[in-house]
Structure 1
């Protein structure tokens, strides 16, 4: 584990690496610390060097400044890739991390060998979603980290997921996101969109989504797969927003198969 300096609001970005092989970088969602990847990392690390980090404003990456943009968040991810050696990586972004991954792939394509978008969308102006979930995300700004995490959990897990949900909440509680960090990350997502630019992407892409996702409708995944030229859409049944908690083994195998195909074709 280490810190790397970043232009993202003068943040010192906390990151760590596990395993060896082709790099994979995992980009977290809104207010999620990198510790939430605890199930997925061991399943990928047998074949890949897995990079995880805390976004500015979350966990061990403190944010120094008044606000930040999606461009800054993407640059923080690029800084982690450079700190890890600068090799091309499989870039995976989940939820808000999917927006960061899109921005990173569009602006720094030399760092990306493939793009995976999980439980995400093409930016709030294009988001297809029930208004109540958007209101819930906004309402959570006024809550403590503990209350916010439990409140949003009702929207983010499949109905059958129980023990995994409790384990996740315990991990999140160890690395809380302050109100300012949550609000700054949320503000960075508002108005951001690069939908038409997605048509210019040339790297292979996987769009992975849960059929029961209440926070981000699966219709958003279909939109992404229509705009990205080389995208493959995979929808997992009995799965909500938290793909790697609701369906951890299936989710990991889907990733490993995709990464292997990309590397075999390179």
Structure 2
């Protein structure tokens, strides 16, 4: 398994981050880095990286945040600013120092904001999905996710998590895949498959991610600095049904960053899975923008 050791000199002990590269490693058209959300593995991007790597010639890097998947779980609590340092060290390990298209969802969007604030020279564009600059996610939803993480039965855990991040109307609607009668069965199949490709996040890892999300804060002055460093290269995506991060947070981000706000009417929190084609098209449009 490919690992990058991070944290030397800034953490009590160094630890390993698991990562994967998908696409043309020799002559990629674009290089994309995806940062996953709270308590989930990098396989949460499985509706993005295979498509973008095969159809667009992009080189896609996905990785497990500290405390999730195959990455090690150093003692918490975590901070999104420190997790952005993890990202920096991963990029240096890969030899990626510029022209990176960064995409983050939920807590991954928070880490992306921290990275863009600290290391804007690395970036070609920034896509922020279902995230916030500082207003904490709804406590009821956060602790709902934590409660789900403690459910022992894996199938029940998956179903309860789906009910938190996907709109009920969407789950009940007809599936886009003829193998499944509704989106509920299709999404469950995707989520179940993901569990076979990773390792379950521990309770300690989930708690440390919650601490990072609740303590996250990027001020308007820092957002303005990101706007100046990436003019015309930022976009914000949200869904009107999002019950974890209020869509008003996305509106605030787009206003201060002076960037497009793309809103999916009726969309939930997990847009990369729920509305994959829509998300992929927006990512490609920004990446191809001169």
Q: Could you state the TM-score of these two structures normalised by the residue count of structure 2?
A: 0.82
Match of 1:226 in 2: 255
Q: 1:11 aligns with which of 4, 12, 15?
A: 15
Partners of 2:159 and 2:188 within 8 A in 1: no
Report the counterpart of residue 93 of structure 2 in structure 1: 83
**In 1, distance between residues paired with 2:146 and 2:76?**
19
1:220 deviation in Å?
1.3
TM-superposed CA distance for 1:70, in Å, is 1.6
| 1:119-138 equivalent positions in 2, closer than 5 A | 119-123=130-134, 126-127=135-136, 129=138, 132-138=140-146
Q: 1:150 Cα deviation (Å)?
A: 3.5
Q: Where does structure 2 lack aligned partners over 5 or more consecutive residues? A: 171-182
- Select 1:54's aligned residue among 54, 64, 87: 64
Look up the match of 2:33: 25
Give CA-to-partner distance per residue, 1:199-239, whole Å, 9 cap, x none.
1112121101122222222111101111113x211011242
Q: 1:214 aligns with which of 224, 240, 243?
A: 243
Answer yes or no: is 1:170 the counterpart of 2:192.
yes
User: Are the counterparts in 2 of residues 157 and 165 from structure 1 also a CA contact under 8 Å?
Assistant: no
Q: Distance in 2 between matches of 1:27 and 1:63?
A: 17
Cα distance in 2 between the residues matched to 1:113 and 1:30: 25
Q: Distance in 2 between matches of 1:210 and 1:43?
A: 22
Aligned to 2:270, which of 232, 236, 242? 242
Match of 2:114 among 103, 106, 112: 103
Distance, in Å, in 2 between the alignment partners of 1:134 and 1:83 is 33
Per-residue CA deviations over 1:92-139 (Å, capped at 9, x if unaligned) read 11000011000011011121111110011112xx2475x532442454
Whole-angstrom CA distance in 2 between matches of 1:166 and 1:128: 24
Equivalent-residue separation in structure 1 for 2:253 and 2:208 (angstroms): 25
1:253 to 2:262 alignment: no
Which deviates the most, 66-75 or 100-109? 66-75
C-alpha spacing 1:58/1:127, structure 2 compared with 1 (3 Å): closer
State how many pairs are aligned.
258
* 1:144–1:179 Cα contact (<8 Å) kept: no
Contact 1:25 1:52 in 2 (8 A): yes
> In the TM superposition, what is the alpha-carbon distance from 1:71 to its structure 2 partner?
2.0
Which position in structure 1 is the counterpart of 2:208?
184
Offset from partner CA, 1:41-92 (integer Å, 9 cap, x none) = 1221123111100001111101233443222211111122222222320111
Partner of 2:174: none
CA distance in 2, matches of 1:245, 1:163: 13
Residue 115 of structure 1 aligns to a residue whose secondary structure is strand
Which 4+ runs in 1 deviate beyond 6 A?
A: none
Q: In the alignment, is residue 118 of structure 1 matched against residue 126 of structure 2?
A: no
Is the Cα contact below 8 Å between 1:141 and 1:183 reproduced in 2?
no
For the pair shown, which has the larger CA radius of gyration, 1 or 2? Answer: 2
Q: Tell whether the 8 Å contact from 1:206 to 1:233 is kept in structure 2 after alignment.
A: yes
Aligned to 1:199: 224
